Amino acid sequence: MNERMQALVDLLDVEQIDDTIFRGRNPDHPRPRVFGGQVAAQSLMAAGRTVPGILPHSLHAYFLRPGKPGIPIIYTVDRIRDGNSFATRRVVAIQRGEAIFNMSAQFHVEEPGPSHQLPMPEVPDPEQSLQRVQEAVRKQGGPAEGWWSRWRTEQAVEMRPVPLDDDNADPQTRGRQYFWVRATSEMPDDPLLHLCVATHTSDHSLLSAMRRPHGGGRGHDFNRFMSASLDHALWFHRPFRMDQFILYFQESPVTAGARGLSLGRYFTQDGELVASVCQEGLLRPVDPSRRGRG
């Protein structure tokens, strides 16, 4: 593994300090709060460590308080139920004595059953998407190679956006966006680790999908809204690897009452729907006269 991927694997390797108590690394960084995907992924890893040999099929979580960078996070796991086919865990993430996140996760022993799915959207493959993004940046006068180099060298999981023509899009589809995502190097075979990396990645850009129909999405004016994740849910349908390209399709079907909803789907390159995501977020308009004030 390369250095940045190893750093993410190490970040998710929560330390077990008691039977159901774990401590998560939390590096110091200049951002004002901990990335929610990190807390969700560490919570899932902590829960998974108490259910050996069985993989999670779903998680449902709430972001309660912003986490503070540089301070370790304690994860307490409740063994809610251990059945023949299913196991349920509840996890609370704690910083400085306060709960910042809670999650319920369920685990399922793999078994056969019927199969169907929605079709994968038709989008350019990862290499074509990269070329189109670079060309779009060049047309805008930006350093395309340098822009993409930053993504590839600073991220453990690269996200290749699929260019969209928002000017010609139907207003009902402007809340859609697509990314090809993949770990930047080969990962260990541990399937729980791949699901935790998928959980970490799933929190990226969902708020952007909510802002897009209102002129505040990726590449637009982020300062028009104050936004934050409120809750997060994830379902795993089939086994998959995060070191192979996954199409992450995101769409926001509704915003109302200063809140928005985003849905996501993970597709493998051969078209299998392997995971689904749902997130509600705060989308509060910012008074232009107060922009830039402390």
Instruction: Let me know if 202 is a catalytic residue.
Output: no
Instruction: Let me know if 203 is a catalytic residue.
Output: yes
What is the rounded CA–CA span in Å between residue 193 and residue 128? 29
Find the catalytic residue in 43, 129, 203, 205. Answer: 203
Task: Give the C-alpha distances (Å, rounded to integers) separating 155 from 96, 166, 181, 259.
Answer: 29, 26, 11, 29
Which residues, including other chains, have CB under 8 Å from residue 120's CB and lie 6 or more apart? 247, 267, 271, 273
Instruction: Let me know if 231 is a catalytic residue.
Output: no
Task: Give the C-alpha distances (Å, rounded to integers) separating 67 from 47, 63, 225, 261.
Answer: 19, 9, 21, 22
Task: Give the C-alpha distances (Å, rounded to integers) separating 15 from 27, 76, 90, 108, 189.
Answer: 15, 12, 18, 24, 20
Find the catalytic residue in 104, 129, 262, 279. Answer: 279
Find the catalytic residue in 177, 227, 229, 250. Answer: 229
Q: Could you give the residue numbers annotated as active site?
A: 203, 229, 279
